[in-house]
Structure 1
Amino acid sequence: MKRWIQRASPGGEALQSLVDGLAEELGRSVVLDDPLVRMICTSRHFGDEDRVRVRTLLQGIADDETIRYVLSRGVAQWTRPGHLDGRDDLGLQPRYCVPILERGHMLGILMVVAKEGDLTEAETAAIARVSRAVAAEMYAERLASDADEEQTRSLVNRLVGPDSAQRSTARRRLLDDGLLPAGPHVVVTHVAVSGLRGPSGRIEVALRGALEPFRQTRTAHGLLAIEQDRAVLVQVFEREPSEEDLDLQSRGIVRSLETFLDRGAATVVGVGGRRAELGDAWISHDQARVAVRAARRLPQLGGIGDWERLGEYAVLLQLPDSALNDFLVPEPLRRLLGGGAHARLEETLRCFLENAGSVPRTAEILEVHRTSLYYRLRQIQEITGLDLDDGAHRLVLHMGLRLWDLLHTPAERPA
């Protein structure tokens, strides 16, 4: 039986030894976090532990509100040591924070429980000395990890790319190296982030932090490829994932990115169709990209698009952006929707078409008498010039409404 390879995380005995040695020298609690404020290693307590520290040790990670607070103070962008104010409501004591930097790379954050003015010059000198040693250890790990990630990224991009020969070569390499199983349930997820100013490296780190937990789960083996502000996650499930499984995963990704990034960042997730073989991952990837377009254009999706649930949108969203304009909406429907003067008739038409032209069902949902409904339907026919008893005409109107929804968010639609 093949062993699916899992990359080791930063840390190890050397880092733990450095953190423990510094803590003993200072007589203070010390923790080493990654740039997303997730614990890598920590010392024992020295009677200065707070609620945040205790919860982190019990859970293995700080809670979202604490992470958001630390990141909001810009600690992950600091270039020199500084003090982080405490927060009584979070149960957080002040920390002296040292960014672990090496050759322009933010590798982590060393934190010592201490109020401003508490540390002596000798203590800050000791922290600086150990921080340099930590940076050297983490940078060596970073170099090895970067080489591994670059190889993985290349294989994933070829696996889902347009060249059939490269797809075949990548598939064979992934199977031969034991990086992924062949099947039986392959799903590709595409994640994109926009609206965030500043260095793109922040987004890459956040994407890695949000997606890495889903690379190896109890039911799936996966690989991750990150490109600046977007990421591709290829997963092979042991059993077919349900819509609920993939929805929970997608929401978890969005929630993590909301924690790691500024509130102005907009995240969309697209889930591709389920395929039976790794060689068909490219199909799921193309579908995931369509699902991302749906998540961007349809607010009701809440930033998450799933190819399997897009229906007719899956067809319409394969049109190029240049073709998706108001002139694609049939002229008869534009007469009804233009200017927003017929909002009640639009609601009636939508309900009528969604209920397969059933007058009783439409009247029940709209809570109107059938006579009133028939009057509205006649008005719609007069304005559009189309016959609602004609299946082809109903199809024109129904597809036209779907196109209208793609082109206009609720806020943009005429009131």
Structure 2
Amino acid sequence: MSGSDLQRMVDALAEKIGRSVAINDPSVHLMCASRHYGDEDGVRVHAVLQRDGGSAVIGHLLAQGITGWTRPGVIPARPDLHMRARLCKPIRCRSELLGLLMVIDPDTLTEADLRTIEDSAAAIGALLYRDFVTEDAQRVAAETAVLELLCGTAEQRTAAQQALSRQERLRSGHHATVTVADVVAPEKDNAQIEVALRVALEAVARNRFDEIVFAVEGNHGFLLQSAPAPKEHLREQGAVVAKQVREILGESARCVVGIGTTADGLADAWISREQASTASRSARTLPGSADVVLWEELGVYATLLEIPEERLTPLLLPAALTRLIANDPHGRLVNTLAVYLDNAGSGPDAAAALHIHRTSLYYRLNQIEQITGLSLSDGGNRLALHLGVRMMALLDDPS
């Protein structure tokens, strides 16, 4: 699309109604803005300077459900964000949402102004749709290649690698690190979640445009980068994504991020993706887990989390551990067993960790042996019980 064509149409509309006009894309990023007419607020000024109103503003807009609007509506003011009320006119063509036309202070618009806005929005929609077909096809092709490279069959991965190479989407193919972002937001619809993920992932990719590509599918976001990066940088990058998604969707939403290890080239990127998905699942499942988890730090959970969620039930726990749980209503013995095993069967270390005398510890261990019928001096018994105790953390109700 010719940016000058869109700018001319926006300027013409602003001149006719004597008001500032802005066009945002469906992800609520500023595409085009007229000059100010004395009606600007803090959000408009920031957006014009930064091309982005900020996560809190995007979240406020999305909370109104604007991505599903088919008719003009009013975005309520948010004084805490220095934001005045706005008329929002969705720009659609053939049912596709192509943009959002914004005019501040809707209460002062006349009927003639509203008709002019409707007419201009129709013309702008036709202009945007002209390039939407081409640009969207390119975006869909790129994201499809990313998804097939990371989640497809061996044949699909080979074709996707070739497609990304032809598109020159990645500068280098010698490394491949995958980050998976999963959103849990029961109160939000799919469109809001997708916009939030796109905004967050795009912000990261924009800073390293020749080394990162991303794709969004449902409530999952995939970030693929071809340049090596220290794990702390990857952790910080993941934290930025999680924070921005939460700011957009609100505190009731949670975005968890898993990061895989660096693979030797795009052909093995799927391995990093599987690791990242496992790490993301751990962040979502393990009590007290951080929002960002690296696969290499999962320890034994990297193996346990390979068990499909539908198979992960109390039936997998050792029968001896199930007996202990049933006979330990307050969980004191189970906790003692967990601490003892975590300390490699060292009585002094376990007693110190539990803040009890060694005599008390050995009394409890004797009780555990009597209830389970297992000797804790046997390495095989300790391994089975230790795996069971770790698995309990993955169960909603281990009893």
* TM-score (ref. length: structure 1): 0.86
Alignment match, 1:62: 53
User: How has the CA–CA distance of structure 1 residues 344 and 131 changed in structure 2, closer, same or farther, with 3 Å as cutoff?
Assistant: same
Give the secondary structure class of the aligned counterpart of 2:211: strand
Alignment match, 1:51: 42
User: How has the CA–CA distance of structure 1 residues 33 and 401 changed in structure 2, closer, same or farther, with 3 Å as cutoff?
Assistant: same
> How far is 1:280 from its partner?
0.7
> How far is 1:205 from its partner?
3.3
Question: Structure 1 residue 96 and structure 2 residue 84: aligned?
Answer: no
Indicate conservation of the 8 Å contact 1:336/1:383, yes or no: yes
Q: Report 1:8-407 matches (<5 A).
A: 12-116=3-107, 118-161=108-151, 163-194=153-184, 196=186, 200-218=190-208, 221-237=211-227, 239-242=228-231, 244-261=232-249, 267-338=255-326, 340-407=328-395
What are structure 2's unaligned runs of at least 5 residues? none
Separation in 2 of the partners of 1:185 and 1:81? 47
User: How has the CA–CA distance of structure 1 residues 161 and 94 changed in structure 2, closer, same or farther, with 3 Å as cutoff?
Assistant: closer
Separation in 1 of the partners of 2:24 and 2:114? 18
Separation in 2 of the partners of 1:74 and 1:407? 35
User: How has the CA–CA distance of structure 1 residues 29 and 256 changed in structure 2, closer, same or farther, with 3 Å as cutoff?
Assistant: same
> How far is 1:161 from its partner?
4.3
Give the secondary structure class of the aligned counterpart of 2:376: coil
Separation in 2 of the partners of 1:227 and 1:172? 21
Indicate conservation of the 8 Å contact 2:171/2:210, yes or no: no
Indicate conservation of the 8 Å contact 2:283/2:292, yes or no: yes
User: How has the CA–CA distance of structure 1 residues 55 and 151 changed in structure 2, closer, same or farther, with 3 Å as cutoff?
Assistant: closer
Separation in 1 of the partners of 2:188 and 2:53? 25
> How far is 1:281 from its partner?
0.7
Aligned partner letter, 2:59? R
Give the secondary structure class of the aligned counterpart of 1:160: helix
User: How has the CA–CA distance of structure 1 residues 250 and 299 changed in structure 2, closer, same or farther, with 3 Å as cutoff?
Assistant: farther
> How far is 1:196 from its partner?
4.3
> How far is 1:278 from its partner?
1.3
Indicate conservation of the 8 Å contact 2:172/2:211, yes or no: no
Separation in 2 of the partners of 1:12 and 1:189? 33
CA displacement 1:358-403 (0-9 Å, x = unmatched): 2222222222222222222222222222222332222111111111
Indicate conservation of the 8 Å contact 1:185/1:240, yes or no: no
* TM-score (ref. length: structure 2): 0.89
Indicate conservation of the 8 Å contact 1:196/1:262, yes or no: no
Give the secondary structure class of the aligned counterpart of 1:149: helix
CA displacement 1:50-74 (0-9 Å, x = unmatched): 2222333344322333322222223
User: How has the CA–CA distance of structure 1 residues 106 and 263 changed in structure 2, closer, same or farther, with 3 Å as cutoff?
Assistant: farther
Indicate conservation of the 8 Å contact 2:56/2:248, yes or no: no
Separation in 2 of the partners of 1:169 and 1:115? 51
Q: CA RMSD in A?
A: 2.7
**Runs of 4+ residues over 6 Å off in structure 1:** none
Indicate conservation of the 8 Å contact 1:11/1:40, yes or no: no
Aligned partner letter, 2:325? L
Number of residue pairs aligned between Structure 1 and Structure 2: 399
Give the secondary structure class of the aligned counterpart of 2:146: helix
> How far is 1:195 from its partner?
5.1
CA displacement 1:305-336 (0-9 Å, x = unmatched): 43212211111222234432212111111112
Indicate conservation of the 8 Å contact 1:153/1:224, yes or no: yes
Give the secondary structure class of the aligned counterpart of 2:170: coil
User: How has the CA–CA distance of structure 1 residues 366 and 122 changed in structure 2, closer, same or farther, with 3 Å as cutoff?
Assistant: same
> How far is 1:337 from its partner?
1.9
User: How has the CA–CA distance of structure 1 residues 47 and 126 changed in structure 2, closer, same or farther, with 3 Å as cutoff?
Assistant: same
CA displacement 1:3-23 (0-9 Å, x = unmatched): xxxxxxx88222222222222
CA displacement 1:90-110 (0-9 Å, x = unmatched): 322221221112211222211
Indicate conservation of the 8 Å contact 2:178/2:224, yes or no: yes
User: How has the CA–CA distance of structure 1 residues 36 and 169 changed in structure 2, closer, same or farther, with 3 Å as cutoff?
Assistant: closer
Separation in 1 of the partners of 2:140 and 2:80? 42
Separation in 1 of the partners of 2:362 and 2:213? 56
Separation in 2 of the partners of 1:298 and 1:392? 25
Aligned partner letter, 2:128? M
Separation in 2 of the partners of 1:70 and 1:176? 37
